[in-house]
Homo-oligomer: A and B are copies of this chain.
């Protein structure tokens, strides 16, 4: 957070023609834009810590999310895991392959649908998640402790509604707009 002495050069830099900003937006729009920015920054900041934590055990965030889902919900079809952790179909194949290679997950046949495969924790995978989950949870608790408990619940409630609304929103394509 060191301040540069570049502000004197800024006047030398060619300022934008018509220095006033013609892209003025309503206060409502500004609030929405602001929310989008702080949402992204907060997620990135927390994510960096969580990511570093699971990396200590040789896992990526996405890998950990799969292990956690399989631990808490039991064996799941690949498609179920895919929708839950929000990756592409190619991505889930790739990720499960890697977890299989690490010995943490195994594929199992689905008796009622021969196209489908279950992903299930191996004993080693279950031992792994059991071992790292407590410190993982404690770390997240510390990272979000900038908000007190009531504020965390308030934020979670708002974010849950925001997420659901955004996920189900069908944004109409404004196809008649200029290029």
Residues on A facing B (Cβ under 8 Å): 3-6, 8-10, 12-16, 19, 21-23, 25, 28-29, 31-36, 38-50, 52-53, 56-57, 71-75, 77, 80, 83-84, 86, 108, 110-112, 118, 120-121, 126, 130-131, 133-135, 137-147, 149, 151-156, 158-167, 169, 171, 173-174, 177-179
Contact = CB atoms under 8 A, between A and B. Distances in A.
A157 to B, nearest CB: 8
Copies in the assembly, this chain: 2
Given A15-B74, A83-B5, A135-B174, A130 B41 contact: no
The DSSP consensus for interface residues of chain A is helix
Contact of A158 (B10, B158, B167, B178): B158
Nearest to A171: B49
Contacts of A143: 32, 36, 166, 169, 171
A83 B152 contact: no
Contacts of A118: 13
Contacts of A6: 77, 83, 110, 112
Contacts of A35: 144, 147, 152, 155-156, 159
B171 A53 contact: yes
A155 B162 contact: yes
Contact of A39 (B53, B126, B159, B177): B159
A46 B166 contact: yes
Contacts of A46: 36, 39, 162-163, 166
Contact of A162 (B28, B42, B47, B166): B42
Given A6-B77, A32-B143, A36-B144, 16 more contacts: A3-B83, A5-B112, A12-B111, A14-B74, A22-B130, A23-B130, A23-B134, A36-B143, A38-B156, A39-B39, A144-B165, A147-B158, A147-B162, A151-B158, A151-B161, A155-B159
